Amino acid sequence: METGQPKAFPVHWEQFHRDARALAWRLASQGEWEAIVCITRGGLVPAAIVARELGIRMIETVCIASYHDYKDQGGLQVIKPVDPKVIGLDGGEGAGVLVIDDLVDTGKTAQVVREMLPKAHFATVYAKPMGRPMVDTFITEVSQDTWIYFPWDMGLTFQPPLSKESQG
């Protein structure tokens, strides 16, 4: 394996659904949630699964662009902030609100949302070491040099083996 090359971690629909349900199970005993704020776009699918499992009907989005060309995390751009009505729930500052995303990578996106909702509970399906301190609950930790291929980003294609000797 070449040094410096990211590790590929393909996640298929069945695995992602299981992991998102596991996240809901962990969250079920951690509080009474009034709303979910999902970080788009990655948080849309896990937020839908968590909302279904926990019976949460109020779902809001915060739209932040951070990845460009599906390669590198670039500058953050808040496209749509959280609705002030959601921020004001349960005494304000996001108390009683779950913030859901698929992944915390560097934690930069989560930090921006934490500034909007400092009392919210942050949960992700996957976490990398740099971003892990920014979330309260997650299911699976992967190394910082791992690139997760989510099911909504993939088609069925050949994956080359890790070893060059196996390629021949």
**pLDDT tens across 48-77, in order?**
999 999 999 999 999 998 765 555 556 899
Residue 167 lies in a domain: no
pLDDT digits (tens, 9 = 90+) for 18-55: 999 999 999 999 989 999 999 999 999 999 999 999 99
Is residue 128 situated within a structural domain?
yes
Instruction: Please choose, from the candidates 159, 114, 105, the residue with its C-alpha nearest in 3D space to the C-alpha of residue 132.
Output: 105
Give the CATH number, domain containing residue 143: 3.40.50.2020
Assess if residue 1 is contained within a domain: no
Contacts of 90 (CB under 8 A, 6+ apart): 34, 96, 97
pLDDT tens string 121-155: 999 999 999 999 999 999 999 999 999 999 998 87
Q: Yes or no: say if 45 and 23 are a contact pair by the CB < 8 Å rule.
A: no
Q: 58 is written with which tokens?
A: 């109020």
List residues with catalytic annotation.
101-102, 105
Q: How far is CA 104 from the centre of its chain?
A: 6
* Domain ranges, residue 100: 8-151
